[in-house]
Structure 1
Amino acid sequence: MSAVHGAGVVVTGAGGGIGAALARRFAAEGARVVVNDLDAGKAAAVADEIGATAVPGDASLVVSEARDALGGTVDIYCANAGIGSGGDAFADEDVWATAWDVNVMAHVRASRVLLPDWLERGAGRFVSTVSAAGLLTMIGAAPYSVTKHGALAYAEWLSLTYRHRGLKVHAICPQGVRTDMLAATGSAGELVLTPTAIEPEAVADALFDAMAEDRFLVLPHPEVAGFYEARAGDPDRWLSTMNHIQQKWEGGAG
């Protein structure tokens, strides 16, 4: 893609899973890639594999160092780092706070640093790895579902506010993806996500299709569009359906 070749790209949470797949794809398309991850060893391994630069550390604080590593300019920022916090409304306050910080505020902090340059240049691209949970909701994972809704809302706000000034925004909303995060979802994930789980590379393919079409919503599982439409068209019916899944999960867990 002409928009990618030679571009300076940052991918957070790229030590494995979706982030690593995104980093590999951007590098294969000729981008100059910064691989970020909290795990310095994993970041270095992916960076060495694809000829990129590793900048480990907190995704909320990586922009300035990544910009320096890219020679002063970030063209595409992939806010991919996330935390799959399970639990219900009674989850500890620190679980909720961490989910909010990683899944939403890290995106806000990054965009604060990136936007002045992007708006001055009239060009920039912000990619948010959300989740189908941000469009729908996931059983057994209140902090994750709520904060992923927040991540989607923030991506939408960025797009509607700045698209006329050259900012392109993409929200990736997959269901199950065969990563460590899926494995950590336990019986809820096995019931809802595992049967249709895809490889991380399919998520990268879906993003590049969306970029080529200049499309905001990225649905690696096309069926999610139908679920989202059903939710909007008849919320009570959709909630009843989801509640039946919740009851099935509770029965299996019991």
Structure 2
Amino acid sequence: MDISDKSIVITGGASGIGAALARQAAKAGAKVCIADLNLEAGKQLADEIGGIAVACDVTKEEQIIAAIEAAEAAHGPVDVFVSNAGLGRGDPSHAASAPDADWMLNWNVHVMAHVWAARALLPAMIARGSGYFVNIASAAGLLNQIGDAAYSATKHAAVSFAESLLISHGEEGIGVSVVCPQYVATPLLGLGDGDAQGNLLSADDVARSVWQGVTDGTFVIMPHPDVAKYNALRGADPSRWIKGMQMLRAKAMSEHGGISVSEFYKLL
């Protein structure tokens, strides 16, 4: 899909990957609605790029619907919906140690927010024979995030839901891309673009990969080339893959004295 002149909604669009996506989409001529918990930051970015901003808590279906309605009032029918909002809490101790509230928060942000957006938009998109969903998942949705079982499980579910969307509605003119980056220098890791180096990509790097993938109609977008290699290894020999991940976990425990997701990228 050519995103020029398209109406685009980006959740979590006020910072990190979302902000980079918004800036690049606006530069390409798209009409952007930034939907974010941080309305002040969203408005600042919207003023910068000539878009609009709305407050949006993606754990509430009615707020996703309200964001869509605001975008349509300003820019016309939504052509592209980017489900970008995300979080990571980590396991307090063992893999099942996170409280139910954390599991449900991960589920609502990483899965149900995608479902609610599709539920609101699909009927009209199908009727006009066009529309696009960009669901930001993670390499953890293909592989695993050591030290955060809730994150990994829900990102796997996000990949699966994106696949269901494309299988069911691809022949009706609906495009779907699921984005599976590895580590990115964003506020989620306490980092910024200036920290990007080597396999640690910047938010701009990821955004460029995303919009190129949307232009090409790529289903699984992997901004980090190594992810495709790891995914192939995992599929070819699951037992060997698990052993390698166990060794990586042991390395993290040895070098950092525990599992810190914000430090884990340094081991790769």
TM above 0.5: yes
Give 2:80's match in structure 1, choosing from 66, 69, 76: 76
Matched AA of 1:34: C
Instruction: Give the match for residue 175 of structure 1.
Output: 182
Task: Give the number of equivalent residue pairs.
Answer: 245
Matched AA of 2:217: D
Q: Distance in 2 between matches of 1:4 and 1:198?
A: 23
Q: Secondary structure at the match of 2:55?
A: coil
Cα drift, residue 45 of structure 1: 1.1
**Residues 3 and 215 in structure 2, CA contact (< 8 A), matched pair in contact too:** no
Cα drift, residue 195 of structure 1: 6.1
Cα drift, residue 158 of structure 1: 0.4
**Residues 39 and 56 in structure 1, CA contact (< 8 A), matched pair in contact too:** yes
**Residues 8 and 70 in structure 1, CA contact (< 8 A), matched pair in contact too:** no
Q: Specify every segment of 5 or more residues in structure 1 that has no aligned partner in the other structure, as ranges.
A: 185-192
Instruction: Give the match for residue 260 of structure 2.
Output: none
Instruction: Give the match for residue 90 of structure 1.
Output: 97
**Residues 13 and 82 in structure 1, CA contact (< 8 A), matched pair in contact too:** yes
Cα drift, residue 68 of structure 1: 3.3
Q: Specify every segment of 5 or more residues in structure 2 that has no aligned partner in the other structure, as ranges.
A: 258-268
Instruction: Give the match for residue 204 of structure 1.
Output: 207
Normalising by structure 2, report the TM-score: 0.87
Matched AA of 1:69: A
Instruction: Give the match for residue 16 of structure 2.
Output: 17
The reply to whether residue 164 of structure 1 matches residue 171 of structure 2 is: yes
Cα drift, residue 156 of structure 1: 0.7
**Residues 17 and 203 in structure 2, CA contact (< 8 A), matched pair in contact too:** yes
Normalising by structure 1, report the TM-score: 0.92
Cα drift, residue 204 of structure 1: 1.0
Cα drift, residue 48 of structure 1: 0.9
Q: Distance in 2 between matches of 1:247 and 1:212?
A: 41
Cα drift, residue 199 of structure 1: 0.5
CA deviations on 1:123-167 (whole Å, 9 max, x unpaired) are: 000000101010100111111111101111111110111000000
Q: Secondary structure at the match of 1:126?
A: strand
Instruction: Give the match for residue 224 of structure 1.
Output: 227
Q: Distance in 2 between matches of 1:94 and 1:182?
A: 22
- Which residues of 2 match residues 25-64 of structure 1 at below 5 A? 25-59=24-58, 60=61, 61-63=63-65, 64=68
- Which residues of 2 match residues 1-12 of structure 1 at below 5 A? 3-12=2-11
Q: Secondary structure at the match of 1:145?
A: helix
Q: Distance in 1 between matches of 2:173 and 2:70?
A: 22
**Residues 176 and 194 in structure 1, CA contact (< 8 A), matched pair in contact too:** no
Matched AA of 2:90: G
**Residues 233 and 241 in structure 2, CA contact (< 8 A), matched pair in contact too:** yes
The reply to whether residue 110 of structure 1 matches residue 117 of structure 2 is: yes
Q: Distance in 2 between matches of 1:207 and 1:8?
A: 16
Matched AA of 2:34: V
Cα drift, residue 70 of structure 1: 3.2
